[in-house]
Amino acid sequence: MDKMVRESGLGDILDKIRAGERLSTDDGLRLYKSPDLLAVGYLANIVRERLNGDKAYFIYNQHINYSNICTNLCKFCAFGKDKESDQAYEMSIEDVKTKVRERLDEPINEVHVVGGIHPDLPYSYYLEMLTGIKEVRPEIHIQAFTCVEIAHLAEISGQSIEDTLKELMEAGLGSIPGGGAEVFSPRIRELTCEKKLSGEGWLKVAKTAHKLGLNTNATMLYGHIETLEERIEHLDMLRKAQDETGGFLTYIPLAFHPKNTELPDLTRTTGIEDLKNIAVARCFLDNFPHIKAYWVMIGPKMAQVALSFGADDVDGTVKEEIITRMAGGDSDQALSREQLLRMIREAGRQPIERDTLYNVIKAY
Amino acid sequence: MERINDKILSGERITVDEGLELARAGELHQLGFLADSVKKKLHPEPFITYVIDRNINYTDICISACKFCAFFKAPEDEGGYVLTHEELGRKIEETKELGGTQILLQGGLHPDKPLEFYEEMLRYIKSHDIHIHGFSPPEVCHFAKLSGLPVPEVITRLQKAGLDSIPGGGAEILTDRVRSETAPRKCSADEWLNVMEEAHKQGMRTTATMMFGHIETMEERFEHLDRLRQLQDRTGGFTAFIPWPFQPANSVLNHLPTATAVEYLKMLALSRIFLDNFANIQASWVTQGPKIAQISLYFGANDFGSTMIEENVVAAAGIGFRLSELEIRKLVEGAGYTPRQRTMDYTLVNRA
């Protein structure tokens, strides 16, 4: 099938990928612009199989969105609410512990905790949340607080990012999710989320975490007002940071959902955009071990197809993820383990249940 | 495999055994590349077509009780309906206002309506001046049985009353084992094919479908495709082939899992590759949703099917995708093609 790729004008990129050579930003742009989705997917699949073989990872996790109260109120977000909004909510530490306790009988490996930038919850709240979760479920891995939240916690604690992270780690923080990266370009942040931590600030938190031995993930919110050049610039910044630290585990492209946001006139991403964003990232981010197709965002059908377009991870059995649902995401809220296994096998991959750090819990 | 690839790329017909080998060992990208090359040879123009029409299901009362169907009501059930002419007329006018060129008229196998009932329905609809794509082969066979008339005569009479073309529904899987296990009261594989052959002989165009992903084997899917290909060689009367996966919810077979997206894309690609004498292959956005339907355009589909102003049968199985004409056009453009409205026989429509 190499012939088909050459006919689509991507022969030189094929040669680079076969030789394990790094792609330039121009190469990345050409892949984004190529009308030949199959050729781009084929290239991504070469990288995917070299790095991860036939493995397709998933995790059994629990999502807790502790509060939607947020001072940033980014235009692309349907989740964040002003404190005065009648849709605003916040969980007490006891509420969070109850959520964890309710599911003690399930084989959950990871609690995934993300919230807004809350105007007045004290620093102690976040530390107590971590210790509280550990009290209820001591062995659980806590992946919590995006880089944006971490920067906020450093600010309210009056400490450096490094010292803040050390305290959070002592309280139970196991790793950091990839959210809040959006698109690093200052133009995009100015137009959509001017109050949010800058792209550089985001990368600084991630790199600090990596130096402390804390792994993090990375994301990009695509499909709103960003250009292809801005996407590649974003990926390039991630690739450079990863060259420095090697602390990123997974890159997760996130599809923008316009409903209930301040950008309601934009349309939802199409299937081609979703697959392109996975495939280009897999070709370009040669130093990222994993690429995730987050099925809650793009639907189980697309996530399954993505396993042949560069993705090696589909996230997992997610319950109570409400950030996407608020924006009109219509994926079922949870896939059973059986459904996940079938979906992965039908895609010709081997299902691997993993923990947060990609240790194998069970190979099916 | 290399030999099969070369054969397909050079435009040669593949055998059933070769099709089965592709189904067994073909990778997703490979099937996509091959199907796309077949499609591009047949359709070098950068168009993806669609039709604006409305499904009108004139009744849900049905004596067939197929195990895979979530739509029908048995004659003794409460709540079954038969549409009045007034209701039909309103639906047709709405369709025309939306730029519709045809209606897809199908219904259950009603236990006692005479052939004249259907003739009157056709004449009434025709008075609204719209293309009638109606009465799938199981309905035609059913009318023949109830009226005691031979199938060719039933087709002649329906055509005279206004029927323009016949939809390919009710094909399910064209093997008698699968039909006797899932739809024993529906017409047989031979009867289905015979209706189509007869219609083609009388100058009517028809489509063909396949509903896969229930109890059939891959061999049976290829037997289905092979019988269609043979008939098409004889008559050339099929305009398009439409494969879609069985939707188990609310049917008697609801314990079966739904075919996944990868299985759908592979079957679509295999159909495009195998049915070399079918000009058009339709994507099934109703069962797959807009995203996979768009991806289908790289796996052999050259047509987005119908805008389905109204769809009841898949909706009864709990699948709720809806797409407007504008959304369909955007999806097509997003895939780098020009969307073009067409009629049943794939004539392009130019609307002001």
The domain of A253 spans: 55-363
Contact of B291 with chain A, judged by CB distance below 8 Å, is answered with yes
> What 3-state class would DSSP assign to B264?
helix
Please indicate, yes or no, if residue A236 is contained in any of the structural domains. Answer: yes
Selected residue with higher pLDDT from A266 and A316: A266
Write down the pLDDT at residue A331. Answer: 55
For residue A294, which amino acid is it? Y
> To which residue do tokens 């939240």 refer?
A149
- Cα-based distances in Å from A296 to A60, A181, A316: 14, 18, 9
Examine the pLDDT at A330 and tell me if it is beyond 60: no
Contacts of A278 (CB under 8 A, 6+ apart): A44, A253, A291, A293, A306, A309, A310, A311
Query: A156-198 pLDDT, tens per residue?
Result: 999 999 999 999 999 999 999 999 999 999 999 999 999 999 9
Burial label, B203 (beta-carbon count in 10 A; 0-12, 13-18, 19+): exposed
Please indicate, yes or no, if residue A29 is contained in any of the structural domains. Answer: no
Examine the pLDDT at A267 and tell me if it is beyond 90: no
H or E stretch including B104? strand B102-106
How far is B182 from B150, CA to CA, in rounded Å?
Answer: 26
How far is A153 from A145, CA to CA, in rounded Å?
Answer: 9
H or E stretch including A61? strand A61-64
Sorted by where each begins, the domain ranges of chain B are: 2-341
> To which residue do tokens 């100015």 refer?
A190
Write down the pLDDT at residue A327. Answer: 61
Contacts of A19 (CB under 8 A, 6+ apart): none
Contact call for residues B57 and B313 (beta carbons, < 8 A): yes
Examine the pLDDT at A227 and tell me if it is beyond 80: yes
**CB-nearest partner of B294 from A42, A272, A346:** A272
For residue A85, which amino acid is it? S
Contact call for residues B324 and A263 (beta carbons, < 8 A): no
Q: Hey, are the CB atoms on B289 and A274 less than 8 Å from each other? A: no
Which residue of B27, B262, B266, B327 to mutate against A (max A Cβ within 10 Å)? B262
Contact of A308 with chain B, judged by CB distance below 8 Å, is answered with yes
Q: Hey, are the CB atoms on B293 and A271 less than 8 Å from each other? A: yes
> What 3-state class would DSSP assign to A176?
strand
Round the average pLDDT of chain A to a whole number and report it: 93
Is B2-341 a CATH 3.40.50.300 domain?
no
In this prediction, residue B324 has a pLDDT band, given cuts at 50, 70 and 90, of confident
DSSP symbol at B315:
G
Q: In terms of Cα–Cα distance, which of A361, A355, A364 is closest to A109?
A: A355
**CB-nearest partner of B334 from A1, A42, A270:** A270
**How large is the average pLDDT for residues A348-359?**
96
Write down the pLDDT at residue B323. Answer: 82
In this prediction, residue A329 has a pLDDT band, given cuts at 50, 70 and 90, of low
**CB-nearest partner of B331 from A270, A298, A305:** A270
Give the ipTM.
0.90
Please indicate, yes or no, if residue A35 is contained in any of the structural domains. Answer: no
Chain A and chain B share a number of CB contacts under 8 A equal to 81
**How large is the average pLDDT for residues A56-81?**
93
Number of domains chain A is built from: 1
Contact of B187 with chain A, judged by CB distance below 8 Å, is answered with no
Q: Hey, are the CB atoms on A348 and B27 less than 8 Å from each other? A: yes
Burial label, B67 (beta-carbon count in 10 A; 0-12, 13-18, 19+): middle
Burial label, A8 (beta-carbon count in 10 A; 0-12, 13-18, 19+): buried
Selected residue with higher pLDDT from A105 and A25: A25
**CB-nearest partner of A301 from B291, B298, B334:** B291
> To which residue do tokens 């002989």 refer?
B201
**How large is the average pLDDT for residues A230-252?**
98
Round the average pLDDT of chain B to a whole number and report it: 94
Q: Among residues of chain A, what percentage have pLDDT more than 70?
A: 95
Write down the pLDDT at residue B93. Answer: 92
**How large is the average pLDDT for residues B114-132?**
96
Lowest model confidence (mean pLDDT) among A170-174, A204-208, A327-331, A354-358: A327-331
Q: Hey, are the CB atoms on B291 and A267 less than 8 Å from each other? A: no
Contact call for residues A145 and A126 (beta carbons, < 8 A): yes
Q: Hey, are the CB atoms on B28 and A346 less than 8 Å from each other? A: no
**How large is the average pLDDT for residues B106-113?**
93
Cβ contacts of A41 on chain B, cutoff 8 Å: 29, 32
Write down the pLDDT at residue A191. Answer: 94
How far is A38 from A30, CA to CA, in rounded Å?
Answer: 14
Number of H helices, E strands in chain A: 16, 11
- CATH number, domain of A146, equals 3.20.20.70
Examine the pLDDT at B352 and tell me if it is beyond 60: no
CB proximity under 8 Å: A 20-39 to B: 35, 37-38
